[in-house]
Structure 1
Amino acid sequence: MATDTTSTPAISHSTVVQATRTRRVFAFLSSFLFLVTLVFLILVEIGCVSSKHPVLPSIYFIKLDLTNIIPRSVPNFRLVNSIARTLGLHDFYQVGLWNYCDGYGNEVTFCSEPQRMYWFNPVEILLSELLAGATIALPSNITDALTLVRKASHWMFALFLTAVCLALPTALLAPLSIYSRWASLPLTILAFLTAFTTTVATVIATAMFLIFKSAIQSAAESVNIQAQIGIKMFVFMWIAAGAAILGWLIHFAQCCCCASARDVRTGRRKGRKKAYPPFGRGTEVDATGPEEKPRARRRWMGRNV
């Protein structure tokens, strides 16, 4: 009774490493991209949380300048502005993810206590800082925009926090896609969730504060409040979102492209051709007998005998 002595050739570890080099490069690149996402998300999270740190107060979503809150059209506007400062108003207020900070001139003097699901309510803050019995009237378009700010801030806060929690395991697990294309599927889902939460939170924050800035500037005739978008915060958000999207695209492509270590060992895919020496010598060991020379080489040797 004849037995089948053929078997799958064993492939050396060095050959597998060389054959999967392209996949390794993209796997570690995606890991690096999600580390970049994590770093910039952390900067977004800790921005404006403390007045003692020299850098953190400069990371904010929006800054409201109340130095000249009374417009020039009002008689004796300079005197009234100085009185408003005496009553308790600060020169500026800037908003972070967890709290707000205020100060005089260019110096931050106070940051509120960080709060979960924080949203910036300038009406409440300004009224709380004025002396007892003093009040300030804000235009209706600003107060109407506060409803949008409150709802959007809650979603933004939850999505940014979720993105931070997802970015770390995604960065650590990304190299596992080297070993199998099947491993890329759950990693692709995890990478998609990271990219989705980061991007949606960034879009919400961008749209919300741009709308809020427009509402404030449109009321310059009645109350002179200048609004300034925090460039650092917006750059950090969009770098995090862009890196997360690129990392997800790499994982998505690895589901069907680039040979994995399992593909090379089982013979489903060869991977990089440069990983195999000419004529396949030295890469495969056949247990059934000595390695047969390639046909083209045998013919060349026969002509030279």
Structure 2
Amino acid sequence: MGKVGRFACIFVPMALTIASLLCLIIVFSGQTNQKMAVTNDLYFFKADTSDFTENPEEIEKLNNVNIDNELLKALKNSATAKDLKDFYKVGMWNYCEGETDDKGKETVTYCSPRKMYFWFNPINVWELKDTAAQKIFPDKLKDGLDIYQKVAKWMVSSYVIAICLTAAELVVGIFAIFSRWGSFVTTIVSTAQTIFILSAAATSTGLYGTLTGTFNTVLKPYKINASMSTKMLAVLWLGVAFSVASGFFWLVSTCCCSGKSSHKKVVVEKTPYTYERVASPYLGARPGDQQMHPMPAHGNTGSAYEPMRHQHV
């Protein structure tokens, strides 16, 4: 097959690795630029407060629930002071907030500074600290935020390790062009990358899914709705699929496509009718000539060789 065939054999896993890397980069870019609509649509968690109502009687009537007046008062004060925006979108490194017009169009007005181990704390963001609401926040929501804060560190670390291993997989994959040993090493790196990206994807999906459910349970009576971005989830799990597929094809390239030429040397055998020189009895044998055994003359038991014999009458 040769080197050309070897290159063709690893092209597929290399392309899949690049695709997985691009997906991770897109996930990392969510909410990092308030002027880019593409990145604004990528978020793990969104809190929509645009329909927040300040009338407790209306809340009780519509939702048939008991209202925590202290929490409602704190949220009302935050809304009056314009500290409560219409929406909050949470990415990996920061969050962005903004306003929603009458037609439902969202405009980002502020994005927080990027932070390594970022987690969204509504008490601080909504300016509820040093209020009664901070103390009387439902236990279910406080427990959910505590878990979110702790798990967020592991989640971010998994994403960082995954993207570093993906870059390493591309570099090591170049050596796979020349030998199957290179494919073997790349397969090991690819397996580690798959483990971390799968772990990060599962953790973020489960974590923000739980946080979304907790927000809706506790704050939906106040018409504060939480959700996750289907676009972010699609890009994230597509990157996982690319990672798993690349690992499989790296493994295949370890077993196949050696890169050695398949041409064999042709050995020409001598035909039974070719002429070969025999050794001369007078000049002696030459190196490589076939040796002839002398035949004894009639009546002579010696080893002398007589090419001709004359008889006298």
- In which range does the TM-score fall when normalised by the shorter chain? 0.7 to 0.9
Q: 2:30 pairs with 34, 37, 47, which one? A: 47
Q: Report the counterpart of residue 75 of structure 1 in structure 2.
A: 57
1:171 shift after superposition: 2.1
Equivalent position amino acid for 2:230 in 1: I
Uncovered stretches (5+) of structure 2, i.e. residues with no partner: 60-72, 101-105, 271-313
Q: Report the counterpart of residue 279 of structure 1 in structure 2.
A: none
Q: 2:257 pairs with 259, 269, 294, which one? A: 259
Q: Report the counterpart of residue 125 of structure 1 in structure 2.
A: 125
Q: Report the counterpart of residue 176 of structure 1 in structure 2.
A: 175
- Partner Cα distance (2:169, 2:37) in 1: 31
1:139 shift after superposition: 2.4
Q: Report the counterpart of residue 297 of structure 1 in structure 2.
A: none
Answering whether residue 15 of structure 2 is matched by residue 16 of structure 1, we say no
Q: Report the counterpart of residue 107 of structure 1 in structure 2.
A: 107
Relative distance call for 1:201 and 1:241 in structure 2 (3 A) is: same
1:127 shift after superposition: 2.2
- Partner Cα distance (1:223, 1:32) in 2: 48
Amino-acid identity (%): 25
1:212 shift after superposition: 0.7
Q: Report the counterpart of residue 33 of structure 1 in structure 2.
A: 16
1:55 shift after superposition: 2.2
- Partner Cα distance (2:269, 2:108) in 1: 79
1:134 shift after superposition: 8.0
Instruction: State the SS of the aligned residue for 1:143.
Output: helix
Q: How many residues align?
A: 250
CA contact (8 A) 2:24 2:163 kept: yes
CA contact (8 A) 2:9 2:257 kept: no
Equivalent position amino acid for 1:86 in 2: T
Instruction: State the SS of the aligned residue for 1:284.
Output: coil
Relative distance call for 1:221 and 1:104 in structure 2 (3 A) is: closer
Matches within 5 A, 1:180-195: 180-195=179-194
Uncovered stretches (5+) of structure 1, i.e. residues with no partner: 1-14, 271-282, 294-305
1:175 shift after superposition: 4.1
Q: Report the counterpart of residue 268 of structure 2 in structure 1.
A: 291
- Partner Cα distance (2:119, 2:78) in 1: 25
- Partner Cα distance (1:211, 1:187) in 2: 36
Q: Report the counterpart of residue 9 of structure 1 in structure 2.
A: none
Higher relative contact order (CA 8 A, sep 6+): 1
1:292 shift after superposition: 5.1
Equivalent position amino acid for 2:186 in 1: L
Matches within 5 A, 1:190-229: 190-220=189-219, 222-229=221-228
CA contact (8 A) 1:70 1:223 kept: yes
Aligned CA RMSD, in angstroms, stands at: 2.7
- Partner Cα distance (1:107, 1:43) in 2: 21
Matches within 5 A, 1:57-96: 57-70=40-53, 74-75=56-57, 84-87=78-81, 88-96=83-91
CA contact (8 A) 1:41 1:237 kept: yes
Q: Report the counterpart of residue 243 of structure 1 in structure 2.
A: 242
1:52 shift after superposition: 2.4
Relative distance call for 1:82 and 1:141 in structure 2 (3 A) is: closer
Instruction: State the SS of the aligned residue for 2:51.
Output: coil
- Partner Cα distance (1:91, 1:101) in 2: 11
CA contact (8 A) 2:158 2:200 kept: yes
**Once the two structures are superposed, what CA deviation does each residue of 1:253-281 show, in whole Å capped at 9, x if it has no partner?**
333x21312xx35xxxx5xxxxxxxxxxx
CA contact (8 A) 1:65 1:226 kept: yes
- Partner Cα distance (2:121, 2:14) in 1: 38
Q: Report the TM-score when normalising by structure 2.
A: 0.71
1:251 shift after superposition: 1.6
Higher helix share: 1
- Partner Cα distance (1:291, 1:243) in 2: 51
- Partner Cα distance (1:248, 1:30) in 2: 7
1:221 shift after superposition: 5.8
Equivalent position amino acid for 2:93 in 1: W
Instruction: State the SS of the aligned residue for 1:245.
Output: helix
- Partner Cα distance (2:9, 2:147) in 1: 41
- Partner Cα distance (2:31, 2:220) in 1: 30
